[in-house]
Structure 1
Amino acid sequence: MSDTLTLPAERRERAGKGASRALRREGRIPAVIYGGKEEPTTIHVEEKELVRQLMTGHFMNSIVNIEVGGETIRTLPKDVALHPVTDRPTHADFFRLSKDAKVDVSVPVIFINEEKSPGLKKGGVLNVVRHELELVCAADKIPGEIEIDVTGKDVGDSIHISEVNLPEGSASAITDRDFTIATLVAPSSLKKSEGDNSTEAADDEAAEEEGGED
């Protein structure tokens, strides 16, 4: 499971574009906490701390405890808007988590036991179709990553979601199809060799036909 993070914040007294611009000039980022059948809570957080947590790489899949006004609010980050030129954060949205909440998250996949894949050992290439899986998880059991075992996989094989053992408390958010996560394809040198052989065979066949006409 991803780590639980803590983010200090202060309540926003004023809303609107002018107030938000003033906050950003002071190194603060406007944000809002919503959900949980409660009124939205408008806050602002320190830009440097938000950027530091974003750089961990798992911020969007982590539970974030926001400390504001002596209260700790358990949340899940839903969106961080970035400036189109500077990439600095301009606004953040957090979803308030109730007890036993289920959340939709995107979790990165990693592949294990590559040395036990016949296809990879002969030079095949793992073509990853989905680098992340969309999951529905219990809020207190969000996995940091999903391991996918490629043991025994050969060139031409595919890996589908039905083959993946998801952690307890997690299920695929896509339920209408058995989608592909990765395929094992032949190395380009082998493809070229096969293509050359096909061309040679075609040339031989054409030569035989010409010889028959004589």
Structure 2
Amino acid sequence: ISSMQKTSSTLARLGAHRFLRPPSSSQLVVAQRQCSGISASLAAHVRDQAQQGKAAVGALRKSGKIPAVLQESCRPFLPIWVYEAPLLTLSRIPYFKYKLVDMALRGERFKALPRLVEQDFETGQISHVNFLRWPRDPEKNPLKLNFQLVYINQEKCPEIKQGGYVHDMFAAYGLPLYLTKPNFPPYITVDMSKAVKGDIYLEHVQLPDGARVRSEYLTRQNGGNCLLARAKRIRG
């Protein structure tokens, strides 16, 4: 079997093909249903001093446990570990890193995001996770999160029908938002049929409930009604 065939087989097995090309409208609906329909829960345990360090972390992995840290605003990172099996099950959910996970730690239950997941591309093995805890008071201390923009109805945009393409102004890092409510989607949907002369502005999209745009250089343009995307023609 050629190396290309092996790679294709691995991608198909891991479901990675969902993220190598823009999803269709039906795939987006399925992903949203899967994200909202699965109850995610993890039991976390604090790592003491003896369970930290390269050798100790390696021993944890061999025993079916994944080292992790719990991150919370204005507090130091807390070293923890979770069992590998339930974490792998949750990692197969589409847009896993935008899915709030119910966690239990030292008798306390809370929600957290698996924001940074170190995972082997071929085997799917997870080696480390950074969990970002949902704020205790989101109104005073909202969660900062950047969202991917997913474009639909591109075929209804005249500039794209004439051979153009969508230039995403926030492709590099995503649209920066403050979140105060936990029921947020895994991405922001942008309807290109609403474009004005090929331009999509912030006023053309619906932000998640309880979300607002963070003030940064790009988001401050045009008085806050910033340009999200522009349909550009291919020259030549």
TM-score (normalizing by structure 1): 0.69
Q: Structure 1: which 5+ runs fail to align?
A: 193-214
Question: Which residue in the other structure is 2:18 paired with?
Answer: none
1:20 aligns with 2:57: yes
Question: Which residue in the other structure is 1:30 paired with?
Answer: 67
> Secondary structure of the equivalent of 2:90?
helix
Distance 1:139-1:42 versus aligned 2 partners, 3 A rule: farther
Q: Distance in 2 between matches of 1:23 and 1:181?
A: 44
Q: Which has the larger radius of gyration?
A: 1
Question: Which residue in the other structure is 2:82 paired with?
Answer: 45
Pairing 1:40-189 to 2, within 5 Å after superposition: 41-68=78-105, 70-82=107-119, 88-101=125-138, 102-131=142-171, 132-151=174-193, 153=195, 157-161=198-202, 163-176=204-217, 177-178=220-221, 180-186=227-233, 188=234
Measured on the aligned residues, the alpha-carbon RMSD in Å equals 3.2
CA contact (8 A) 2:184 2:209 kept: no
Deviates more, 1:87-96 or 1:23-32: 87-96
Pairing 1:192-211 to 2, within 5 Å after superposition: 192=236
Q: Distance in 1 between matches of 2:156 and 2:148?
A: 22
Amino acid of the residue matched to residue 55 of structure 1? R
Amino acid of the residue matched to residue 144 of structure 2? D
Q: Distance in 1 between matches of 2:90 and 2:131?
A: 14
Distance 1:120-1:67 versus aligned 2 partners, 3 A rule: same
Question: Which residue in the other structure is 1:204 paired with?
Answer: none
Q: Distance in 1 between matches of 2:135 and 2:70?
A: 12
Cα shift at 1:36: 6.1
Cα shift at 1:165: 3.2
Seq. identity, %:
27
Deviation sequence 1:60-102 (CA, Å, 0-9, x none): 2222111345542322233223469977432222233344421
TM-score (normalizing by structure 2): 0.64
Q: Distance in 2 between matches of 1:59 and 1:84?
A: 15
Tell which has more relative contact order, 1 or 2 (C-alpha 8 A, sep 6+): 1
